[in-house]
Amino acid sequence: MSAAEPLLAKQRRTVQVEDSIALDQSRQGIHVPMPSSTQTRKRTRFVDREAAYHQSYGVLNIKRRVPTRASFYLRADDWFHTILSYPTWRLFLLLAALYTLVVVLWTGLFYAANESCDLRIRSFLDAFMLSIETMATIGYGVPDSYWNECIAGPFVLLSLCFVSLLLDALCIGVVFARMSRGTTRATTIVFSDKAVLRCIRNEWYMMFQVGELKKHQLLESHVRMYAVQHSEAAVNPPDSNAGSVFKPFPSTIAPSSSSESESDDADGHDVPLRSASSTSALLEDQTKFVPVYFQTHLMRVQHPNDELGGMLLLAMPNVVVHKIDQWSPLFPQHLLQHGQQPSPSTEFLFPNSVLRSCDLAVGAREPKDEATSQPPTIEADDILEHMASKNTEVLCVIEGVDSSTAFTVQARHSYTAEDMEPHHTFAPCVFKSTDGGCVIDYHRFHDLITDQGLENHLPQTVL
């Protein structure tokens, strides 16, 4: 049993295949991800997974505590977008309340001008109905439409018409912006339910699949990836001149296997307790590590190349690839062997730029210390254990422009350690029809294939 299995036993999903179709596919090397029926402990996700087809609504699990006074004035300065962010029921209730308020205000003006202009209004209800008729131009119920040349008539009617036009423009703008917002357009951009970890030429890669259900594709589609994980800050003692050093990854000091232990924090997460190793006891004794939660780290994308914009053609399913090198937040940093002077050309050191090992292989940058500082060999269990211990969640963002409304659309999805499938790849879901056309079968979009299943999986022709 590997070291990662006990740590992930509480978090990995248990897949139970009961029908004959799933059993036949498993014999062919096809892995069909299915929702878990029982879990010992439900993990709180940073991005929801509540939509159909194993998708996400893109809602971030963030609660903000803002001073009431500051929140009021800041939201008042941006009142239009504040209204747009309201729930639908609250938005329509607010618009109905505004219309009713305007009608009631001008009802009082009509009632006040009743005697001087001889409008023959008998009650407040008559004045209320007259205000609605004037505002909606659905008829007029006064004896003289010229108000008997009353001086109050032009002021009351002109002001009501002006306010009514502004209110109509506001309602049309809010409803149109609400109905055409990019969050609803993004629901047809689908992500694979699972991400896979593949070892290709002794290098580890994280991959996920993305596609578009609609015929009309997004323009200028591109992808970005982030890792949200718990980090540490190394705080030196007050008499030290070094101050505080923020470490976005786990401490580069390798803990001793005999003296390392674990404990549970108030939220039930596993928190590793550090102890000094024999090679770095002096540095460990002078440095204190404090937890820093939910830190965001950029993840470089190798395919499509993020240096070329990470462009995607969503008309076809795309496999997005991230290489897990020593600059990746998914790389177990505690396995690196550090000298007295760590180099940003061989590992990530905050706040330096995030590099890629593939840039050196293609000659995009000059070699410096890579020849003498090779990363250690890692396995899938090391990656999963590192992700689980740091509560890592990989946030994937697809952005593009809708051709109908020219609005920017953003789709979000996330993967945790329990969403990773090592030594798998995605089953083919694109086939050739009998007439030579392209057929995308989204029934197989989430299916995974093992390495042995990939060799036996032959291209098919469908009707």
Which residues partner with 261 through β-bridges? 273
pLDDT of residue 68: 82
DSSP-assigned letters across all residues of 300-358: --TBTTGGGT-B--TTS-EEEEEE--TTSTTS-GGGS---SS--TTTS--TTSPP--HH
HSE-CB of 154 using CA atoms within 13 angstroms? 2
pLDDT (mean) for 244-251: 48
* CA–CA distance, 205 with 198 (Å, rounded to integer): 5
* CA–CA distance, 177 with 175 (Å, rounded to integer): 6
pTM of the model: 0.69
pLDDT of residue 369: 54
Question: Do the beta carbons of residue 273 and residue 255 sit within 8 Å?
Answer: no
pLDDT of residue 407: 86
Check pLDDT > 50 for residue 39. no
CB atoms < 10 A from the CB of 156, how many? Answer: 19
pLDDT of residue 35: 44
Check pLDDT > 60 for residue 246. no
Check pLDDT > 90 for residue 394. yes
pLDDT of residue 192: 95
Check pLDDT > 80 for residue 252. no
pLDDT of residue 282: 45
pLDDT of residue 185: 86
pLDDT tens-place string over residues 49-66: 888 888 988 888 888 888
Q: pLDDT-derived band of residue 452, with 50, 70 and 90 as boundaries?
A: low
Q: Provide the mean pLDDT of the chain.
A: 76
pLDDT tens-place string over residues 143-202: 666 676 787 878 888 888 899 899 999 899 888 888 877 778 888 999 999 999 999 988
HSE-CB of 273 using CA atoms within 13 angstroms? 8
Check pLDDT > 70 for residue 385. yes
Q: pLDDT-derived band of residue 439, with 50, 70 and 90 as boundaries?
A: very high
pLDDT tens-place string over residues 289-341: 788 899 999 999 999 999 899 999 999 999 999 999 988 999 987 777 655 55
pLDDT of residue 329: 92
* CA–CA distance, 226 with 85 (Å, rounded to integer): 25
pLDDT (mean) for 125-138: 84
* CA–CA distance, 249 with 336 (Å, rounded to integer): 12
pLDDT of residue 462: 58
pLDDT tens-place string over residues 335-374: 776 555 566 666 777 777 787 877 766 655 666 654 445 6
Question: Do the beta carbons of residue 457 and residue 449 sit within 8 Å?
Answer: yes
Which tokens sit at 67? 């001073």
Q: pLDDT-derived band of residue 121, with 50, 70 and 90 as boundaries?
A: confident
Closest residue by Cα to residue 354 from 382, 313, 324, 319: 324
pLDDT of residue 281: 47
Which tokens sit at 5? 């299995």
- Strands 195-200, 203-212: pairing is antiparallel
pLDDT of residue 9: 45
| Ramachandran angles phi, psi of 459, nearest 5° | -60, 145
pLDDT (mean) for 423-443: 91
The percent of residues in the chain predicted with pLDDT above 70, rounded, is 68
Segments of 9-105 assigned E as strands: 30-31
Q: pLDDT-derived band of residue 25, with 50, 70 and 90 as boundaries?
A: very low
Check pLDDT > 70 for residue 13. no
Check pLDDT > 90 for residue 384. yes
The percent of residues in the chain predicted with pLDDT above 90, rounded, is 30
DSSP-derived 3-state class of residue 409: strand
* CA–CA distance, 443 with 268 (Å, rounded to integer): 37
* Least confident interval from 13-22, 45-54, 55-64, 130-139: 13-22
* CA–CA distance, 317 with 305 (Å, rounded to integer): 16
pLDDT of residue 145: 67
pLDDT of residue 211: 94
Unique residue bearing structure tokens 């309340």: 97
Q: How far is CA 182 from CA 177, 309, 366, in A?
A: 9, 21, 42
- Strands 219-235, 244-247: pairing is antiparallel
* CA–CA distance, 364 with 268 (Å, rounded to integer): 45
pLDDT tens-place string over residues 254-270: 333 333 334 444 444 44
Question: Could you tell me which residues come within 8 angstroms of residue 154 by beta carbon, excluding any fewer than 6 positions away?
Answer: none
* CA–CA distance, 140 with 161 (Å, rounded to integer): 14
The dihedral formed by the CA atoms of 118, 122, 125 and 131, expressed in degrees to the nearest 10: -10
DSSP 269: -
